[in-house]
Amino acid sequence: MTSSEQAPAAKGVGRLVDVRPEPGVAKPDAIFVADDVVRSFGGLRAVDVDHLEIQRGTITSLIGPNGAGKSTFFNVVSGFDRPESGRWSFRGSDITTLPAHRVARTGMVRTFQLTKALTRLTAHENLMLGATGQRGERFLPALVKPMWKRQEAEISARADELLERFNLAHMRDEFAGTMSGGQRKLLEMARALMVEPTMIMLDEPMAGVNPALTQSLLGHIQALRDEGMTIVLVEHDMDVVMGISDWIATFAQGRLIAEGRPEDIRRDEAVIEAYLGAHRSLPPQEEETEDD
């Protein structure tokens, strides 16, 4: 990869160098900002985040013990759940009240721990469905083929490019239901990219994936960051988190208790105490835990 290709990632990550490792710290170029987000289930306050910013052009991981509130936070800010209170913005625009499909149209998309592939459609058709603004989906334009034929051909070509990129070209015309769990993870990531997002939120992308495909997924995530995309990752595998993250935010009992670079998080007393309650203290170079 040339130096010019690495420039977007270097710019995003480099601007974190002087950021203090503390919860709620301001970022020099935040693409996403959340304030006072609260989500409760009965008497349990699952999310209680005072302030969180995500730096543009980086890989930021959300970690924490089982039940810490990471996935619930994902669900709330992506429009799949509603909180009791809170506001959040993306690229400077308030998206608090937007439903999930409109959040995606702003360029902020997410994947799920349990993949949502349409099993009786082919891999190519799954990707085609991910593209937004398709003229052929509207009633009147659909009646006039010249109005949407060229656009559909462009979308089809983009789907084929992504299938090739994610090593799924050989599955192009196979039903998604015949794909392995790891292949469905790749398919879901490719489908998210059909939206042409600015930020992609990945909820446990490595869960249930064999080691070979895990390395492939990690390579794709890093490549997206290197191209300038912002990645937010919920992941329970601490080897993955410490190896891939530019910045880490730690949750415990719904609250944000620590932020910092991987080396900061390894030695943070609040993080060690949170994980002691789940398993044991975190070793200097390796960490193990469970996630939401």
pLDDT one-digit tens code per residue, 231-275:
999 988 888 899 999 999 999 999 999 999 999 998 888 888 887
**Residue 259 structural domain:** 3-117+197-276
Question: Are residues 159 and 204 both part of a single domain?
Answer: no
Has residue 214 been placed in a domain?
A: yes
CA geometry: angle 219, 239, 202, nearest 5 deg: 55
**pLDDT, tens digit, for every residue of 77-129?**
999 999 999 999 999 999 999 999 999 999 999 988 777 778 889 999 999 88
Question: Are residues 133 and 265 both part of a single domain?
Answer: no
Q: What is the mean pLDDT of residues 14-28?
A: 91
Question: Are residues 11 and 36 both part of a single domain?
Answer: yes
Give CA separation, 104 vs 5, 107, 222, 224, in Å. Answer: 26, 5, 21, 17
Has residue 268 been placed in a domain?
A: yes
**pLDDT, tens digit, for every residue of 30-60?**
999 999 999 999 889 999 999 999 999 999 9
Residue 27 scores a pLDDT above 80: yes
* Residue 139's pLDDT band (cuts 50, 70, 90): low
Give CA separation, 65 vs 62, 82, 112, 154, 235, in Å. Answer: 11, 23, 19, 44, 11
What is the count of structural domains for the chain?
Answer: 2
Has residue 250 been placed in a domain?
A: yes
Has residue 190 been placed in a domain?
A: no
Has residue 12 been placed in a domain?
A: yes
Has residue 88 been placed in a domain?
A: yes
Q: What is the pLDDT, as a whole number, of residue 6?
A: 46
Has residue 191 been placed in a domain?
A: no
Question: Are residues 139 and 34 both part of a single domain?
Answer: no
Domain with residue 245: its CATH number is: 3.40.50.300
Question: Are residues 157 and 255 both part of a single domain?
Answer: no
CA distance 111 to 204: 9
pTM of the model: 0.82
Question: Are residues 212 and 138 both part of a single domain?
Answer: no
Question: Are residues 253 and 227 both part of a single domain?
Answer: yes
Has residue 170 been placed in a domain?
A: yes
Q: Helix, strand, or coil here: 207? A: coil
* Residue 5's pLDDT band (cuts 50, 70, 90): very low
